[in-house]
Amino acid sequence: MNTAVQQLLASFDALPEADKHRAAVEILRRVSAVGAEDVPESALVEAADELFRALDAEEAGHAER
């Protein structure tokens, strides 16, 4: 992993949860638009599932407040 990717991930980790989710969705959209054939469909499905689980957990946390 090069320095630019490490910086990107560090910046991502520093984002508020809602912004992390928006960024993840946008990255997935861009990956699928540019070269989804290079990324196994199972990896995209797994990433999307993980994102939706995180969104559900965040929503549930807000509902409890």
Q: What is the pLDDT along the chain (65 residues), one digit of tens a residue?
A: 799 989 999 999 999 988 988 888 888 778 776 665 667 778 778 878 887 888 788 778 776 65
**Cβ proximity of 6 and 25 under 8 Å:** no
pLDDT of residue 34: 66
- The pLDDT assigned to 57 comes to 80
Show the tokens assigned to 54: 């995180």
Show the beta-strand stretches assigned E in the chain.
none
